A and B are shown apart, each in its own frame.
Chain A
Amino acid sequence: MKYFANVIVLLLSIMATSATAERYMTQDEFLQLAFPQGNYQKQTLWLNKDIKAIAKRILKHDYRGLRIRYWGNSNSTAWILDEIGKEHPITIGVIVDNHQAKPVINDVKILEFRESRGWEVRYPFFTAQFEGVHLASDQQLNKTIDGISGATLSVRAVKKVAALALYLHGISKNSPSES
């Protein structure tokens, strides 16, 4: 009986700690969510030195890449960005709307999660906190997002991507100040 119990514990620990990628949503599904009418265009944002400097301030590290592709129409943009949690990238989708001449988050979705822990960030109890959030003057989110025990680094990654998406929307041609 003791041997059997030990085998069960071992199996459960292997299942709990094995780090395999979990895809929760495809790109197409995310875009379908962001633009149910299908009215969007694929667009490109080139990152100059100034934009990269602000991105670095938001992410607390350099953004690797010279351009970002996103999807948008006159009112909304959808961004799919990767950010490292602890060791592996988390693929995060952010939908940003123009609301009263200000970019605000409509939704945040975890598309793919590759860490062995911290996956709780994909649940609505966490992501729903981002709805209606916008950027404060220091490029940080204007609202405190409650963390999750044991998922500190994943929470941090999602917050950084949300702030970055808001900033990028603000400088894109879909922003109310640019249109």
Chain B
Amino acid sequence: MAKALPLRRRLRIFFLKWHRTIGLFASFFVLLLVITGIALNHGNELGIDHQPLPHSMLALYGVEIETPTSGYSIAGDWLVESQQQLFFNEQPVSVCHPPLVGAIPFAEELLVACQNGVALFTQSGELIERAGDNPEPLVAMMALPNSDKVLMKGQFKHYTFDMSRFEWSDFEVTKSEMAWLKPTALPDALAKGIAKKSVVTEITWERLVLDLHSGRLFGQWGVWFMDLIAVLLAVLAISGVWLRISRP
């Protein structure tokens, strides 16, 4: 009858077999964790912390971008807000917190107001200057005839904005009915074109890499699976150390 192997020897064979098997199984996920971990550590240098995911990948997060329906047309060009971006025709040109309050031609430039402030653009949509320090979120706008000023309505008060000096002043409105600017319906083709180019700025490549790293991209099961991989890596570490120190 063959002599039974000593316990230590049997344990070594057992651990060696499983160390190799687990190592092979986990190798792909280890590489994934290495690559995503390094990317996360250097997110700013790689630019992934501010690059939004392209439109085509937003479905991973169940995000469907609404097609914009209205905007402001000036001399055949359109100013439209979509996903907190201001579009000049189909080109995103600036940040714009909704609502897009209005757009007015001024000299050879365009003054555009969003809830978060006012900006001046060239007639081809290039940003000239953004006005800082608007007194409160804006809700409506109208041109004042024969004037370098526009009238703005905030959440609580009214203001004039001097388009030459880029300065705000308080304003008392005496009329009850004001002809505030209103957006008009967008042409279909333009609306669809803008929707296709819209991104959600909060969902960045860093978000995707983080969710891949944690497994969260695949839901709660993904998270538990990565927990399992982490446990298996711990088993590898322990078995590896044991195999090393128990070598005859």
| A interface, CB within 8 angstroms of B | 26-27, 42, 64-69, 80, 82, 84, 86-87, 91, 152-153, 156
Is residue B170 within 8 Å, beta carbon to beta carbon, of the partner chain? no
- A87 near B50 with CB under 8 A, answer yes
For residue A34, give the distance in angstroms from its CB to the closest CB of chain B: 15
A68 to B129, CA, bound (A): 7
Mark each residue of chain B from 123 to 152: 1 if its CB lies under 8 Å from any CB of chain A, else 0: 000111110110000000000000000000
Whether A66 touches B202, Cβ cut-off 8 Å, given contacts A27-B132, A27-B133, is: no
Digitize B32-62: 1 where CB-to-A-CB distance is under 8 Å, 0 elsewhere. Answer: 0000000000001000011000000000000
**A179–B218 alpha-carbon span in the complex (Å):** 63
Residues of B within 8 A of A91 (CB): 132
**Residues on A with beta carbons closer than 8 Å to the beta carbon of B128:** 65-67
Shortest distance between the CB of B165 and any CB in chain A (Å)? 7
Inter-chain contact A84/B50, CB cutoff 8 Å? yes
User: Which B residues have a C-beta under 8 Å from some C-beta of A?
Assistant: 44, 49-50, 94, 122, 126-130, 132-133, 165-166, 201-202
Partner among B44, B127, B201, B202 whose Cβ is within 8 Å of the Cβ of A65: B127
Q: Shortest Cβ distance from B161 into chain A, in angstroms?
A: 14
Chain B residues in 8 Å Cβ range of A153:
44
Distance, CA A105 to CA B166, complexed state (A): 26
With both beta carbons as reference points, the residue of chain A lying nearest to B131 in the complex is identified as A69
Contacts of B132 in A (CB 8 A): 27, 80, 82, 91
Question: Closest Cβ of chain A: how far from B56's Cβ, in Å?
Answer: 22
Contacts of A27 in B (CB 8 A): 132-133
The 3 nearest A-B residue pairs measured at CB: A27-B133, A66-B128, A67-B129
Q: Which residue from chain B places its CB closest to the CB of A46 in the assembled complex?
A: B128
Give 23 CB contacts A-B under 8 Å. A27-B132, A27-B133, A42-B165, A64-B94, A64-B130, A65-B128, A66-B122, A66-B126, A66-B127, A66-B128, A67-B128, A67-B129, A68-B129, A69-B129, A80-B133, A82-B132, A84-B50, A86-B49, A86-B50, A87-B49, A87-B201, A91-B132, A153-B44
Question: With a CB–CB cut-off of 8 A, which chain A residues contact B44?
Answer: 152-153, 156
B165 contacts which chain A residues (CB < 8 A)?
A: 42
- Which of chain A's residues have a CB closer than 8 A to the CB of B133? 26-27, 80
Contact A69 B166 (CB under 8 A): yes
Question: A65 to B50, Cβ gap below 8 A?
Answer: no
CB neighbours of A152 from chain B (8 A): 44
Which residue in B127, B166, B202 is a CB contact (below 8 Å) of A64? B127
Q: Closest residue to A68 on the B side, CB-wise?
A: B129
- B130: which A residues are within 8 A, CB to CB? 64-65, 82
Q: How far is the CB of A94 from chain B (nearest CB, A)?
A: 14
Q: Bound state CA distance, A67 and B129, in angstroms?
A: 6
- Contacts A65-B128, A67-B129, A153-B44 known; 12 new A-B pairs at CB < 8 A: A27-B132, A42-B165, A65-B127, A66-B126, A66-B129, A69-B166, A86-B50, A87-B49, A87-B50, A87-B202, A152-B44, A156-B44
- Complex CA distance for A16 and B133, rounded to whole angstroms: 25
B49 nearest CB neighbor, chain A only: A86
Q: Choose among B44, B133, B166 the residue with the greatest number of A CB atoms under 10 Å from its CB.
A: B133
Verify B49–A65 contact, CB threshold 8 A: no
Residue of B with least CB distance to A64: B127
Query: How far, in whole Å, are A109 and B133 apart by their CA atoms in the complex?
Result: 15
Q: Cα distance A156–B43 when bound, in Å?
A: 14
